[in-house]
Structure 1
């Protein structure tokens, strides 16, 4: 599949194989860069999965592996909302919640490659069980699937919303994307759900601001589709919970590279590492 996708891309873009110097790979979960594998990823169930070696063997090219949120964060620092800044934290909100940290223009990966796992910081010590096995993680409340679960429970309890019409009464079809659509239709229940999610994200971001004091926190992923109205609440909650001096020097903004941040970042990390070796 990787080989076919590569050939399709080259054909579509008018490229030739001889001009391809290598590949950058972004994967969710904890990455062991020394052993070149995905150590664990709760949403895919992988354990010590050697994805870098497999893709390198198929393509017969040099490859670089990193966490997908690190890739998205690097892209926003390199080509997006964080251009020209030294200290940036990226938060990716999708199937899960990931994070990446750039300090002094360098990705911070930590002692074991697990730095930046914002989604698995605890916001409620008696909270919901997360896919990672812990309880009360931010991801268990504010990831795409968790947003959908929150909306379904309210509808099952009798809340009224245009969402019911959008899925023809089949509540299992409700997704975060449909909730954003209902929000744009000025649905009061969708507004209530997203207000709660925004406050939770604001709490998580306040923890980041107080711990790392970044220039900017960039939020990437489908949640950006909820619009500026979501960010107003995120900023308000983060301000309420952050040190004043840290909050006043930090912007909280949506990413500028929708759908492509992970791809651009994986390429950028590959380029940066190749140049370091020269």
Structure 2
């Protein structure tokens, strides 16, 4: 029997987060996309309930894919899963993830057994970086650094076209690079991590601290005077509307990110740095001063060889990358 073409075979992808689960499917060659449905994770219900929700969404997307293509179940090759870590990819375990409260949980095999398909497991930030490299803003790169900026700051490294995992699967924890040895306490327990300054919650906290100085700003009005409701997205909104204090917070965030990215240029000499997540909402107000800070700090040959771009796969980079990790691990790309 003739082997079906790549566009007639499909891989499912799961992006598991502490807040939401996203599942989609793509053809092996990445030219066709199906599903991309999102549901709340409801981590408080426990690991078994979360797995059940993942499985239900996989089956929904699988059914939609088969209905849209006329493909049989045999055309579904497997499931790539992106999860917060740290992970043991070899054994398919989530070693620990505070947002989900899991320890040594066999996520890969639980999902695989439930849906009757082979599965792979990789770090969610690795997946987001690989997704942008395969089908997003980092296409064409061979050596790519990815930063995902949201509740925390994750990272991924693609070296010579392959994800780099390191000796114990924790390579790419770029948010925990120290940028101030005596600086703010990070959730990881260290002081002065990039995440402690430039993650979404850290940006909001720095804005609240600036507002405590009494400088006029539109930001309190955006939250009805309740500054506990201030988010990075609202800081970005105020900056776009010309609020001077919000603009300064965004510029300071750009300088901090620029320092971190400059270190990465000097260490890895990438051809592409891609930033994904809510940070892209800030637009040029963040990217222009960040690029300027990188030019100021990094070696010129490294700067000249590298483009720094916002991610383009809004809301689905993790799913696309989870599919790509499955394809890479199965020798399909």
TM-score bin, normalised by smaller chain: over 0.9
Correspondence 1:151-166 to 2 at 5 A: 151-166=207-222
- TM-score (norm: length of structure 2): 0.79
Question: 2: CA distance between counterparts of 1:183 and 1:10?
Answer: 42
- Residues 134-143 or 157-166, more deviating: 157-166
Correspondence 1:222-233 to 2 at 5 A: 222-233=278-289
Structure 2 equivalent of residue 141 of structure 1 = 197
Structure 2 equivalent of residue 50 of structure 1 = 106
What is the aligned residue count?
A: 277
Matched, 1:6 2:58: yes
User: Are the aligned partners of 1:180 and 1:226 in contact in 2 as well (CA < 8 Å)?
Assistant: yes
Question: 2: CA distance between counterparts of 1:158 and 1:17?
Answer: 64
Deviations 1:34-88 (A, max 9, x none): 2211223355443323222222232222111001111011111111122122111
Matched, 1:64 2:120: yes
Question: 1: CA distance between counterparts of 2:80 and 2:178?
Answer: 31
Instruction: Specify the SS of the correspondent of 1:256.
Output: coil
Correspondence 1:204-219 to 2 at 5 A: 204-219=260-275
Match of 1:36 among 79, 92, 107: 92
State the Cα distance separating 1:156 from its structure 2 match.
Answer: 3.0
Correspondence 1:173-188 to 2 at 5 A: 173-188=229-244
Deviations 1:77-121 (A, max 9, x none): 111122122111111101110111111101110000111111000
User: Are the aligned partners of 2:176 and 2:194 in contact in 1 as well (CA < 8 Å)?
Assistant: yes
Structure 2 equivalent of residue 247 of structure 1 = 303
State the Cα distance separating 1:259 from its structure 2 match.
Answer: 1.0
- Residues 9-18 or 249-258, more deviating: 9-18
Structure 1 gaps, min length 5: none
User: Are the aligned partners of 1:96 and 1:119 in contact in 2 as well (CA < 8 Å)?
Assistant: yes
Could you say which structure has the higher helix fraction?
Answer: 1
Matched, 1:22 2:78: yes
Question: 1: CA distance between counterparts of 2:106 and 2:304?
Answer: 43
Distance 1:197 1:82, change over 3 A: same
Instruction: Specify the SS of the correspondent of 1:275.
Output: coil
State the Cα distance separating 1:155 from its structure 2 match.
Answer: 1.9
Distance 1:160 1:50, change over 3 A: farther
State the Cα distance separating 1:165 from its structure 2 match.
Answer: 0.9
User: Are the aligned partners of 1:87 and 1:216 in contact in 2 as well (CA < 8 Å)?
Assistant: yes
Structure 2 equivalent of residue 196 of structure 1 = 252
Could you say which structure has the higher strand fraction?
Answer: 2
Distance 1:46 1:200, change over 3 A: farther
Deviations 1:122-157 (A, max 9, x none): 001101111111111000110011111111222233
Question: 2: CA distance between counterparts of 1:45 and 1:159?
Answer: 40
- TM-score (norm: length of structure 1): 0.94
Considering only aligned residues, what root-mean-square deviation do their CA atoms show, in Å? 1.8
State the Cα distance separating 1:184 from its structure 2 match.
Answer: 1.6
Instruction: Specify the SS of the correspondent of 1:130.
Output: coil
Structure 2 gaps, min length 5: 1-52
User: Are the aligned partners of 1:10 and 1:17 in contact in 2 as well (CA < 8 Å)?
Assistant: no
Distance 1:253 1:85, change over 3 A: same
- Residues 217-226 or 184-193, more deviating: 184-193
State the Cα distance separating 1:11 from its structure 2 match.
Answer: 5.4
